[in-house]
Amino acid sequence: MVDYGLKLNKDNRIVALLWHQGEHDFFENAELAADERYAFYRENFKKQTLAFRKKYGKDIPVIAGEMVNSWAELAENKTKCDAVEKATKDVCREIGNAAVVESEGLLSNDDEFHNGDNMHFCADSVYELGERCYSLFEKIINAHN
């Protein structure tokens, strides 16, 4: 999709890689213990981000996002989420020009509307998450220049 997007217009360019771990990633490999889950996601996230940078530019900022807190903090999700989010944060520190946008205080659809959807951000929180991403992007590019 990136190659397709770049070909659409000669002026198109990549300015950042936004990565938001999906809930699927917390469910797959259910048999993995927390330390195994951490190692698995650390290796895969690092491999993917470095491959992306190798192809599209070594200095491209990487901004990753946390999951909805009310979902991630549920007893049945916490250990898995903590392992994946720790792996994401550690990789961002290791590769440089990268950061994790925090989801503290952002609401899920269930938090906002009591509709049972506690794993997706509500619309207002999506907008706030975007603002937080852009703020981190500015910090990364200003520090790099």
How confident is the model over 41-57, as pLDDT tens digits?
999 999 999 999 999 99
pLDDT of residue 125: 98
pLDDT of residue 30: 79
Q: In CATH, which superfamily holds the domain spanning 13-144?
A: SGNH hydrolase (3.40.50.1110)
pLDDT of residue 94: 98
- Mean pLDDT, residues 63-68: 95
Residue 99 φ/ψ, nearest 5 degrees: -155, 165
Q: In a 10 Å sphere around its CB, with 0-12 CB exposed, 13-18 middle and 19+ buried, how is residue 40 labelled?
A: middle
Contacts of residue 111, defined as CB under 8 A and 6 or more positions apart, other chains included, come to 70, 118, 122
Q: What is the pTM of this model?
A: 0.92
- pLDDT digits over 83-94, tens only? 999 999 999 999
pLDDT of residue 68: 94
pLDDT above 90 coverage of the chain, percent:
88
Residue 125 or residue 76, greater confidence? 125
Task: Please name the helix (run of DSSP H) or strand (run of DSSP E) that holds residue 17, with its range, or none.
Answer: strand 17-20
CB 104 within 8 A of CB 53: no
Residue 36 or residue 24, greater confidence? 36
What mean pLDDT value characterizes the chain? 94
- Mean pLDDT, residues 5-28: 88
* Per-residue confidence band for 112, with pLDDT thresholds at 50, 70 and 90: very high
- pLDDT at residue 24 tops 80: no
